[in-house]
Chains A and B, each alone.
Chain A
Amino acid sequence: MVDRRTFAGRLLPRPLMITALLVAASLVAAACGSTGGDSSVGGEETAPEVPDATEEAPGGAEDPGEDSEDGGEEPDDAADAEHSYEDGDVLRVVIPVGPGGGYDVQITLLTEALQPELQQLTGTDVIVQREYMPGGAHLTGMQHVAHAEPDGRTILYATPVEGVRHRVIEGEDIDFREFTPLGSLAQVTTGYVARADLELESWDLEGLAARSQEQSILIGHPSPEPQMRIMFGLFSENGIDVEADYVTYDSTAEVGVALLRGEIDMGMSSTIALSRAVDDNPDELRFFAHGGCERLAALPDLQTLVEMGAPEGETVCSALHTERRALFGPPGFPAGDAAVLTEALRNVITDPAFVAEFEAATAEPPGWQEPEELAEYVDVLISMWEANAHFLQ
C-alpha cells in the first residue's frame, strides 16, 4: 500500500493540487493573453481594421463603396477589396434558432450554395458552417455575434425585428444598427386567416371592430403578438376599436390546427405558410387579409390590410407585417471580408437556379437587399418601433 501521509498529501490531495496548479497556469496565461492580444492568431491582420470599421458602423456595408477610390460598380469594388480568408478557414453562420423549420430551410439552402461561391471568389477552400444557437427568443445567438471577435469568421443570420423587439420591449442591450449588414436573404410577410364560420358581414375592418365589441376576437399566432398590439393601438387612435385577445402557439401549423379545432377565431402568421392550411381545408378556413405592403404573387386575389383601409398603412405593412431575414457581421467586421461576403451572397441569392430552388422549398422567392438598403431598413424599423412602444405598456 502506498503511503498517503506525505507532507503534500496532508496539505492538499493530489488532484486538488493539480487542479490548483492548472487553474493558476490558466490565469497566468489569460493574463498574458489580455496584455498581449496582438500576438493572438489572426490579430495581425484584423486588429488594424477594427477601429475604422467600428467608427463607420452601421455602415459596415457602406465600407466597400466608401473605401473604393474610383466609385465604380459594387461587384468590381468587392472583387478589388482585400479579404483575409485563407485555406481551411471556417466561416461560422450563427443561427439563433434550433434546426428545422422554415428559418433553417432558408439558411441551409443559402449556406450550401454560398460555400462554393465564396471559395471561387476568394480562391481558398474556406468552409461555411452553420451553427445553431437557439435561446432567449433569438437573443442568445444575436448576443453571441454582437460580442464575437470581428475577425470575418463569424456572421449572423437573423430577423432584425426580433432584436428590435428585445430592445424596445425588454430593454435588452442589442442594437442592430451596430451590426455590419451584409445582405438580405428573404422577406416574410404575415397575414390573417379566419374560421369560415366567423360571423362577419364582410371582411372590412369596421365589421371586425363591431364583431369584437360583442366578444373579443381571439387571435392565434406563433410569436409576434407585440406587432398586433401596436397595430390595433394604431387602429384605435384612428377610431377603429378592435378588441383582441391572443393565444401563442409554437408554429403556423399549430395555428391552423387550432383554427380547425375552433379554439380561436383568427390565425396570424406567414401568409404563405397559412395558405397551406387554407388550401387543405377550404371549407373550414378562409383568408382574412394579407399584412404586407403589396399583394403576393402566389395569392394575387388576397387583399392587403392597406387596401382594406387600415390606418397608418406604411407602419402596419412595412414595420409590423414584413420581416427581413438577413446576414450581419459583428460590429467592426473587416471591410474587405464584408465586401467579399456581400458579393458572394449577392451572386448566390440572385442566381436564377438558386431562386428556383428557394421558391420550390419555401413557396416564396428570396428577397435580396444590398447592405445599404438593409441598414436603412433597420433604421426605419427601430424608429417605428420606438415611436409606437407606448402601445405595449
Chain B
Amino acid sequence: MFDGLGEALPIFFSLDMFLALSVALALGMVTSIIPGIGSLTTMALLLSFTYTMDTYVAMAFLVTLLGVGSFAGSITAILINVPGETQNAATLLDGYPLSQQGRAGEAIGASATASALGASFGILVLVASMPLLRQVILSVGPPEMFALSLSGVVLIGVVSRGNPARGIASGLFGIMLAFVGLSQALGGHRYTFGIIDVYDGLPLIPIVIGLFAVPEIYELLRQNRTISSSGTLVKGGIARGVTAVLRRPAAVVRGSTIGTWIGLVPGIGGAVAPWVSYFVAKARSRDPDSFGKGNIEGVIAPETANDSKDGGALMPLLAFGIPGSLSMAILLGAFQIHGIVPGQRLFDQNMSLVWVILMALLFANFTSSLVGIAFAGVLVKVTLVPAVILSPVVLSVAMIGAFADSRRPSALAITLGMGLLAVLMVRADFPRPPLLVGFVLLPILERNFHQSLQIYRGSYTFLLRPITLGILLVTFAMMFAPALLNAWRRSRRPALATVGTAPAPADPTPATTATGRGATVTAAPALTSVLTKVLVTALILACALTMAITSRDLDPTARLFPLVVLTATIVLTGVMLVRDVQHLASARQAGLPLLGERGTFSDRWVTGWLLVLPALVFTLGMLVGSALFVALVRVFYDRAPLSTGVVVQGLVLASATGVCLFLLFERFLRITLIDGALL
C-alpha cells in the first residue's frame, strides 16, 4: 500500500513543485472566488501550460487547482449567497444566514477548518481502503447510481425547510428545467422549441447565478442595506469558527467518511455528498430546527463532505480512467498528454504519482484553508459594503461569469430571467436549493435509469440488486425520518411540542427579514404575498402543462421520465393552486393589507435598474457597459443629491471594475466578451 511513498516524498518537497503549487494556489483562489468561473475554467485554461512541466509537477499543479476550488467556492456561498461551485450549494443554507447575523467570519473560519480536516481525513480513509477500491468501484453500476441520485433528489426535499409541498414543487421544477435539451434516453432534443442555444440543455452557471445571486442583489438594492443586517461584524468570529470545528471531531469524521465514499461514485459525489452529510448532521442534532437559520454545524457538515469527496472522486479516474466530472476529464487529458495511462498498471508501476497527487490534494486543501483564514478578516468586510457599491459590482461580475461559461449572449437573458423568477420564489416561500439539486441530478438519474433498463433488457428487476435495494430502502426511511423523529420528540417533550410546529420561513436565505438603513419593514402578511404564491405556483403549473402537451411529439422512451415528473408536478401544483386561491380569497375577506414588507425602493425601480445592465452591455459592450453600470448605480440609484464625492467615487469604481474585468477576462482568461452595438 505504501509502495512509492518513499520516492514521492522528495519529488513533492522539491523547489519546482513548491513554486508550481504556489502559483496554482494563488490562481485557484482568485478565480474560484468569482461566481461563474471556478476551478474548471482555470484548469482548462492552464492545461496547455502544463505540457512542458515535469509529469509529477503538472499533475500536482492541476490537482491543486481542483482542490482549491472546493473550499474557495464556499466563501462566496457564505458571503453573498452564491455557491462558487455547485457542490457548495448546501453550505449557503446556514452560511449566508450567519453572514446576515454579522457572523461571516465564524462561518468562513468553520468552513476553512472543516475543509482542511475533511480533506485530510478523507485521504486517510482512502489510503486505508485502497486495497478494496477496485471492488468498490466495480460494485457500483448504473442501478446503484440511479438509486443514489434518487436519494439525492429526495434528500433535498427533506432537508429544505418550510412547507414541504413547495420544496418538492421547487425540486420538480428544477427537474423540469433539466429536461430541456438532449434526451438522456435517445440523444434527441426535447423541449428546445428550436432554440439552438438550449440544444444541450439550459446552462448550469447562469441558472446558479440567477437563482442565488440575483435575488440577493435585488433585495440589497431594494432595501439599500448591507448584507450584515446590523451593519456590524461579531468580533472574534474566525477563531470561534475554527474552534467550533475542533470541538466537533465526530462531525468531521462523519462528514469526511460520507464524502469519501459517495465521492467514489463518478458524477454523483459532488452533487449528493454535501446534502447527505447535511441531512445526517441535522437528523443527529439536538436542535434540528436551528438548521437553516445559521447553525454552524450546517456549515461544517457539507464542507467536510465536499472537500473529502475530491480524493474519492480521483479514484475512478486513476483506477479506470473514468472522469466523473469535467474537471476530472481535464485531468484525464493531462494524463494522456503526459503519456500516463490510468488503470491497474498505474497503481502497479507508478504508485509514486498517485502519492504525489494525493499529497497535492492535501496541500491544496490545507493551504487554501490557511489563506482563507488569513484573509477572512478582509473578506468579511464585504458584508458591510453598501448596496449601491457592492450590488452593481457583484452583478456585473456575475453576469460576465454567466456569459464566460457558455460564451453565448443568451446566458444573460437566462440569468436575469431565472433571477427575477427566484425573486418571486423567495417571496412566495419556495426554497431554491431543491431546484438546483433537481436540475443537477436529473440527467444522472435519468441516464442511469435508462442504462439500467437497457442492461436488464427492459426489466425493472435491477431495483432488486442488493446495494440498489439497500439505498432505496434507506432513502425511503430518510423521507419519513424527520416526521417520525419529530413525533418521537413531541412525545418526549410535550411542553415544547408547539415550538417545533411553528411555521418557519421556507427559504434559508429570507432576504426579506433584515432591516437596513431607511428600510420600512412591516412583517405582517399581505395580499401580495399570497398573490405571489399563486403566481409562482401557476407559473410552474403552466410550464408543466406546456411541456406535457409538447411531449406528445416525443419518442415514448424519451418522454417516459418527463411524463412521470410532469404528472406529479401537475397534480401537486394543481392542488397547491386551489389551496392558494382559497387562501387568497379568505385573505381578502379578512382584510389583509395589500402590501406587506416594503423596502426603501420600489420593485419597479429595482427591476428597472437590473435591466439597465443588459441594455448597457448590448449597447456599449460588456466591459464598458459593466463599468458604466457600476458608476450609474453609485451616482443615481439612491436618488441622493449629487455631490462631487459621490461622482468621483462612481468614476473610481467604474474604472477599477473595468480594468479588473479587462485584465481578468480578456487578458488572463482570454474570453472574448460581448461587443456593443455602438462601440
Give me the interface of A with B, judged by CB distance under 8 Å.
2, 4, 13-16, 18-19, 22-23, 25-26, 29-30, 33, 90, 92, 98-102, 104-105, 108-109, 112, 129, 131-137, 139-140, 143, 170, 216, 218, 223, 245-249, 251-254, 256-258, 260-261, 263-264, 276-277, 279-281, 360-362
Of the candidate stretches B302-310, B577-585, B634-642, B649-657, the one touching chain A is B634-642
B454 within 8 A of A: yes
The interface residues of chain A, by DSSP majority, are classed as helix
Q: Which of B200, B266, B336 contacts A361 (CB 8 A)?
A: B336
How far is the CB of A245 from the nearest CB of chain B, in Å? 6
The 8 A-B pairs at the shortest CB distance, nearest first, are namely A100-B329, A135-B200, A15-B608, A136-B199, A253-B321, A99-B44, A22-B615, A16-B608
How far is the CB of B86 from the nearest CB of chain A, in Å? 15
How far is the CB of A13 from the nearest CB of chain B, in Å? 5
Q: Which residues of B contact A25 (CB under 8 A)?
A: 619, 677-678
Q: Across the interface, do B609 and A26 meet the contact criterion of CB distance under 8 Å?
A: no
B83 within 8 A of A: no
B326 within 8 A of A: yes
9 A-B pairs in the complex with CB atoms less than 8 angstroms apart: A25-B678, A100-B326, A101-B332, A102-B336, A108-B48, A133-B407, A143-B196, A251-B323, A279-B343
What CA separation (Å) do A152 and B30 show in the bound complex? Answer: 35
Nearest neighbor of A253 in chain B, beta-carbon distance: B321
Q: Which of A19, A30, A109, A264 contacts B455 (CB 8 A)?
A: A264
Q: Number of B residues whose C-beta is below 8 Å from A?
A: 68
Nearest neighbor of A254 in chain B, beta-carbon distance: B322
Q: Which residues of A contact B331 (CB under 8 A)?
A: 100
Nearest neighbor of A252 in chain B, beta-carbon distance: B321
Q: Which residues of B contact A105 (CB under 8 A)?
A: 333, 336-337
Q: Across the interface, do B641 and A216 meet the contact criterion of CB distance under 8 Å?
A: no
What CA separation (Å) do A140 and B195 show in the bound complex? Answer: 10
B142 within 8 A of A: yes
B551 within 8 A of A: no
Q: Which residues of B contact A16 (CB under 8 A)?
A: 604, 608, 611
B284 within 8 A of A: no
Q: Which residues of B contact A100 (CB under 8 A)?
A: 44, 323, 326, 328-333
B47 within 8 A of A: yes
Q: Across the interface, do A263 and B455 meet the contact criterion of CB distance under 8 Å?
A: yes
Chain A CB within 10 Å, residue with most, of B455, B640, B670: B455
Q: Across the interface, do A253 and B322 meet the contact criterion of CB distance under 8 Å?
A: yes
What CA separation (Å) do A102 and B40 show in the bound complex? Answer: 17
Q: Which of A2, A216, A257, A362 contacts B138 (CB 8 A)?
A: A257
Q: Across the interface, do B677 and A26 meet the contact criterion of CB distance under 8 Å?
A: yes
Given known A-B contacts A25-B678, A257-B322, A140 and B199 have beta carbons under 8 A apart: yes
Q: Across the interface, do A218 and B455 meet the contact criterion of CB distance under 8 Å?
A: yes
Q: Across the interface, do B337 and A247 meet the contact criterion of CB distance under 8 Å?
A: no
Q: Across the interface, do A30 and B677 meet the contact criterion of CB distance under 8 Å?
A: yes
Q: Across the interface, do A101 and B333 meet the contact criterion of CB distance under 8 Å?
A: yes
What CA separation (Å) do A280 and B182 show in the bound complex? Answer: 33
B141 within 8 A of A: yes
Q: Which residues of A contact B517 (CB under 8 A)?
A: none
Q: Which residues of B contact A14 (CB under 8 A)?
A: 608, 636
Number of residue pairs A-B, CB distance < 8 angstroms: 170
What CA separation (Å) do A222 and B138 show in the bound complex? Answer: 18
Per-residue interface assignment for chain B, residues 328 to 355, with 1 indicating a CB less than 8 Å from any chain A CB and 0 otherwise = 1111110011110111110000000000
Chain A CB within 10 Å, residue with most, of B181, B338, B670: B670
B476 within 8 A of A: no
What CA separation (Å) do A143 and B43 show in the bound complex? Answer: 26
How far is the CB of B499 from the nearest CB of chain A, in Å? 43
Q: Across the interface, do B457 and A99 meet the contact criterion of CB distance under 8 Å?
A: no
How far is the CB of B631 from the nearest CB of chain A, in Å? 13
B616 within 8 A of A: yes
Per-residue interface assignment for chain B, residues 123 to 151, with 1 indicating a CB less than 8 Å from any chain A CB and 0 otherwise = 00000000000000110011000000000
What CA separation (Å) do A153 and B182 show in the bound complex? Answer: 29
B605 within 8 A of A: yes
Q: Which residues of B contact A13 (CB under 8 A)?
A: 602, 604-605, 608
Q: Which residues of B contact A4 (CB under 8 A)?
A: 639
B451 within 8 A of A: yes
How far is the CB of A69 from the nearest CB of chain B, in Å? 38
B513 within 8 A of A: no
B561 within 8 A of A: no
Q: Which residues of B contact A131 (CB under 8 A)?
A: 407
B432 within 8 A of A: no
Q: Across the interface, do B196 and A136 meet the contact criterion of CB distance under 8 Å?
A: yes
The A-contacting residues of B in range 25-47, CB under 8 angstroms, are: 40, 43-44, 47
Q: Which residues of B contact A22 (CB under 8 A)?
A: 612, 615-616, 618-619
Q: Across the interface, do A170 and B188 meet the contact criterion of CB distance under 8 Å?
A: yes
Q: Which of B47, B602, B670 contacts A99 (CB 8 A)?
A: B47
How far is the CB of B386 from the nearest CB of chain A, in Å? 18
Q: Which residues of A contact B612 (CB under 8 A)?
A: 15, 18-19, 22
What CA separation (Å) do A101 and B612 show in the bound complex? Answer: 40
The A-contacting residues of B in range 619-675, CB under 8 angstroms, are: 619, 632, 636, 639-641, 670, 672
Q: Across the interface, do A251 and B322 meet the contact criterion of CB distance under 8 Å?
A: yes
Q: Across the interface, do A98 and B337 meet the contact criterion of CB distance under 8 Å?
A: no
Q: Which residues of A contact B44 (CB under 8 A)?
A: 99-100, 132
Q: Which residues of B contact A136 (CB under 8 A)?
A: 181-182, 189, 196, 199-200
Q: Which of B138, B332, B615 contacts A260 (CB 8 A)?
A: B138
Q: Across the interface, do B320 and A256 meet the contact criterion of CB distance under 8 Å?
A: yes
Q: Across the interface, do B326 and A98 meet the contact criterion of CB distance under 8 Å?
A: yes
What CA separation (Å) do A134 and B639 show in the bound complex? Answer: 45
Q: Across the interface, do B605 and A15 meet the contact criterion of CB distance under 8 Å?
A: yes
What CA separation (Å) do A104 and B332 show in the bound complex? Answer: 10
Q: Which residues of A contact B375 (CB under 8 A)?
A: none
Q: Across the interface, do A216 and B605 meet the contact criterion of CB distance under 8 Å?
A: no
Nearest neighbor of A97 in chain B, beta-carbon distance: B329
The A-contacting residues of B in range 58-73, CB under 8 angstroms, are: none
B187 within 8 A of A: yes
B51 within 8 A of A: yes
Q: Which residues of B contact A248 (CB under 8 A)?
A: 187, 450-451, 454
What CA separation (Å) do A19 and B416 show in the bound complex? Answer: 15
Q: Which residues of B contact A280 (CB under 8 A)?
A: 343-345
What CA separation (Å) do A263 and B145 show in the bound complex? Answer: 14
In addition to A2-B640, A251-B323, A253-B322, 8 A-B residue pairs with Cβ atoms within 8 Å of each other are A14-B608, A22-B612, A99-B329, A100-B329, A105-B337, A253-B320, A253-B321, A263-B455
How far is the CB of B563 from the nearest CB of chain A, in Å? 21
Given known A-B contacts A19-B615, A131-B407, A137-B187, A261 and B200 have beta carbons under 8 A apart: no
Q: Which of B48, B616, B677 contacts A33 (CB 8 A)?
A: B677
Q: Across the interface, do B339 and A276 meet the contact criterion of CB distance under 8 Å?
A: no
How far is the CB of A392 from the nearest CB of chain B, in Å? 12
Q: Which of A104, A245, A249 contacts B333 (CB 8 A)?
A: A104
Q: Which residues of A contact B672 (CB under 8 A)?
A: 90, 92
Q: Across the interface, do A112 and B339 meet the contact criterion of CB distance under 8 Å?
A: no
How far is the CB of B449 from the nearest CB of chain A, in Å? 12
Given known A-B contacts A19-B608, A246-B454, A247-B451, A112 and B333 have beta carbons under 8 A apart: no
What CA separation (Å) do A169 and B333 show in the bound complex? Answer: 31
How far is the CB of A214 from the nearest CB of chain B, in Å? 13
What CA separation (Å) do A211 and B11 show in the bound complex? Answer: 53
Nearest neighbor of A263 in chain B, beta-carbon distance: B455
Q: Which residues of A contact B640 (CB under 8 A)?
A: 2
Q: Which residues of B contact A362 (CB under 8 A)?
A: 336
How far is the CB of B608 from the nearest CB of chain A, in Å? 3
What CA separation (Å) do A264 and B47 show in the bound complex? Answer: 35
What CA separation (Å) do A302 and B137 show in the bound complex? Answer: 30
What CA separation (Å) do A49 and B435 show in the bound complex? Answer: 50
What CA separation (Å) do A248 and B604 show in the bound complex? Answer: 49
Q: Which residues of B contact A279 (CB under 8 A)?
A: 343, 345
Q: Which residues of B contact A216 (CB under 8 A)?
A: 457
What CA separation (Å) do A140 and B640 show in the bound complex? Answer: 47
Q: Across the interface, do B337 and A361 meet the contact criterion of CB distance under 8 Å?
A: yes
What CA separation (Å) do A22 and B613 show in the bound complex? Answer: 10
Per-residue interface assignment for chain B, residues 547 to 560, with 1 indicating a CB less than 8 Å from any chain A CB and 0 otherwise = 00000000000000
How far is the CB of A123 from the nearest CB of chain B, in Å? 23
